[in-house]
Each structure stands twice: as structure tokens, then as C-alpha cells.
Amino acid sequence: MSQRFKDIDYIGVFLWVFRAIIIVLVIYGTVSKLFLGVGNEYTIETWIDFFVSGLSQGSLYALIALGYTMVYGILFMINFAHGEFFMSGAMTSTVLVATFLSASGFLDAQPLVSMLLITAVSIITSISVALLTERIAYRPLRRAPRLVPLITAIGASFFWQYFFRGLFGSALIPFPVPESLQGRWTIFGLEFLRTRVVVMGTTVIALVFLYLFIQRTKTGKAIRAVAEDKDVAALMGINVDRTISITFAIGAAMAGIAGVLWGLVFRQVHFYMGFVPGIKAFTAAVFGGIGSIPGAALGGLLLGVIEAVGPPLFLEGLGIVGAHQLKDVIAFTMLVLVLIFRPQGLIGEKLAEKKA
């Protein structure tokens, strides 16, 4: 018996208690909300609405998280400027294309063509910003210690924020939503905001395309090969620098798509809009298992849903007022919990020695 007590490690006990408290709080909140009726004013439709808005928000996180996870997978570097790739596409396409299309009436006359045009400009901008950042700021540091490109990424993030502030000003810029995408659609007898349906549909298409690209194409296979071993990939005749650029470009394209979808949902863009979504998407990538593409998608969706359903479900059940304002607390609590209890993420693998 005394031998057993000697083996107890106090940090382990603390973490165990910490985990137990969180679980008890979540369960207690949920039960008191659903069954004890602590201010349970929501109907089943409202819950579905919470869930769907969570899925749509999560889709956006997932699209952005792909860029973090792909770059990490190939360079073992957290590209903190990725949120700015997202912002640059959203802002540029809004100011240069969407506003103009809306003023001329073309946006409502040809919503599909307009949205495709806006998205194309957004993707091109995001890719250009990403390639410039990679070429100028990251490539010279390829063999530097890992902290150096991380700090550089934060610097690049500030650079692009203030670059686009200088370019387009610091005001909130409205994103025009075509009339045909305003209001709701009725699907299976339930009403859904049209923009949310568009967000989820586009995300699914983008994810399928990305999956096929990575799995089936020669370039996709080269990306996976470079991620595993750069020297051996070079011995196969793969241009490693070019492959890394392509990886940045694909991540940025996803961020560019997310930028337009973000505009549709929130109806405004701003030079600082990349910061919080960037951090959230990073959280999603870590949650799913950084380096894993399916992990980023899953992590993003789960984070969105937990953020949307969590506050009304267990925070309100705990009697917290204004629970919706605490969704960021949930997101970052999750980040901390994942880092403590499952650093490899939901479906990520444990890092091998050489990567760590």
C-alpha cells in the first residue's frame, strides 16, 4: 500500500483533477440546462440553428486551418502570417471587385459569375502574398533554428496587416451579399441561412478537391514525399523549394476561399480580420493534430460546433450570464486542454524525434 502511494506523481494527480473538474462542469452544466430546466428557453429548432451555425463557422476554421497544417507538415513551422493571407484575399477582392460589382448592379444580376470572380481575385491575392512571404521571409531561414522563422512569421503578420491598412484604410468595409443569397432556404422542412449553406457546400467541394490533389496527383505525392524527407525527395528529382512554394500556395488558396465566405457571413472586412480567425484556425489545426489534413478539417468543424453549441448548452446551464460572449474562452480552453492532455491532437500522430 505504501509503495503505491510513493509512485503517485503530483503533477499527474493535479492534471487528473483538472480534467475531472472540466468534465464535471460540462456534464453538470449540460444536465442542468437540458433536464433541470435552468432557463431552458430554446426549442429544438433553435438548437439545430446553433449546430448549423457552428458547422458553418467551423467550415471557415477548417479551410484556414488547412494552411497551418500543410505548412507545418512540410516545414515543421507554425506560419503565424497565415491569418494575413486570409485577410489579404478578403480585403482585396472586396475593395477592388465586390464593391464595384455591387455598385454596377452586376452582383445581383449575375450572382454566380460575380461570386466566382470575387473568389478568383481573393485566391490570386492570397497566393501572391503567401509566395512573396515564403520567398522573401522564410526561404532564407530554411536552415535556421526553429524559433527564428516563428518570430519572422509574427513579423510578417504585422507587416501585411499594416500594408493592407495602408492600402485600403482602417475602416470596416462592407462586403456586399447578392440578393439571391440573402434570407433563408427551406431544406427538409428546416430553414437555413443561405450564406451558411453556401459556406458549407463550398468547403466540402474545396476539401474534396484538396484531398484528391494530395492523394492522386504527382505534385500531391511530391508534397507528401518532401514532408517526409527533403534530402531523399531531392534525390528523386523533386525540386524541394518549388514543392514548398506550391504547398504555401495551396494553403493560401484555401484561405482566399475562406476570405470570401467570411465576407458573406459577416458582411464586412477589415485589415485586422485575420488575427482572431488565424488563431482559432491554428487552435483547430492543433486540436485535429497539426500536420494532418483530415485532422485540420475535423478540428475546424468540431471547434466551430463546440463554440456555437457550448455556451448555450453548458455555460448557461452553469448559470453564466451572457454566455455567448465566452465562446473564445471555450476555444482557447480547448487549445490548452489539447496541448496538455493530447498534444498529438485527435487524429495526429506522435511526433518522431527528428521532427520534434
Partner 1 sequence: MALLEVNNLHAYYGNIHALKGISLQVEEGEIVSLIGGNGAGKTTTLRSISGLIPPKPGAITLGGEDLSNHKAHELVSRGVAMVPEGRGVFAKLTVLENLEMGAFHRTDKDGIIADLNSVYELFPRLAERKKQLAGTMSGGEQQMLAMGRAMMSRPTLLLLDEPSMGLAPVLVEAIFDTITEINKNGTTVLLVEQNAHMALQVAHRGYVLQTGTIVLSDSAKELQRNPMVQKAYLGIE
- Provide the binding-site residues for partner 1, judged by CB under 8 A: 218, 221-222, 224-225, 228-229, 231-240
All three cell numbers of 167, joined, read 492600402
**Among residues 72 and 175, whose Cβ is nearest to partner 1?**
72
**Among residues 76 and 159, whose Cβ is nearest to partner 1?**
76
The residues that bridge with 185 in the sheet, in sequence order, are 192
**Among residues 156 and 240, whose Cβ is nearest to partner 1?**
240
Q: Nearest distance from residue 234's CB to partner 1, in Å?
A: 4
Q: Nearest distance from residue 222's CB to partner 1, in Å?
A: 7
Helix (H, G, I), strand (E, B) or coil at 37: coil
- The DSSP line for 221-257 is HHHHHHHH-HHHHHHTT--HHHHHHHHHHHHHHHHHH
Distances (CA, A) of 355 to 74, 77, 99, 242: 10, 10, 45, 21
**Among residues 115 and 223, whose Cβ is nearest to partner 1?**
223
DSSP H or E stretch at residue 268: strand 268-269
**Among residues 203 and 292, whose Cβ is nearest to partner 1?**
292
Q: Nearest distance from residue 141's CB to partner 1, in Å?
A: 18
Give dist(CA 203, CA 217) in Å, integer: 20
**Among residues 215 and 325, whose Cβ is nearest to partner 1?**
215
- What count of other Cβ atoms lies within 10 Å of the Cβ of residue 250? 23
Q: Tell me the backbone φ, ψ of residue 29, rounded to 5 degrees.
A: -60, -45
All three cell numbers of 182, joined, read 440573402
Answer yes or no: are the C-beta atoms of 326 and 29 closer than 8 Å: no
Q: Nearest distance from residue 230's CB to partner 1, in Å?
A: 10
**Among residues 154 and 232, whose Cβ is nearest to partner 1?**
232
Angle between the N-to-C axes of helices 293-310 and 327-341, in degrees from 0 to 180, rounded to the nearest 10: 140
Q: Nearest distance from residue 218's CB to partner 1, in Å?
A: 7
Give dist(CA 59, CA 202) in Å, integer: 9
Answer yes or no: are the C-beta atoms of 77 and 71 closer than 8 Å: yes
Q: Nearest distance from residue 348's CB to partner 1, in Å?
A: 13
Q: Tell me the backbone φ, ψ of residue 302, rounded to 5 degrees.
A: -65, -40
Q: Nearest distance from residue 352's CB to partner 1, in Å?
A: 10
Q: Nearest distance from residue 231's CB to partner 1, in Å?
A: 6
Q: Nearest distance from residue 227's CB to partner 1, in Å?
A: 8
- Of 10, 32, 98, the residue nearest 314 (C-alpha): 32
Give dist(CA 54, CA 170) in Å, integer: 29
**Among residues 174 and 220, whose Cβ is nearest to partner 1?**
220
Give dist(CA 58, CA 304) in Å, integer: 4
All three cell numbers of 321, joined, read 450570464
The residues that bridge with 184 in the sheet, in sequence order, are 193
**Among residues 34 and 234, whose Cβ is nearest to partner 1?**
234
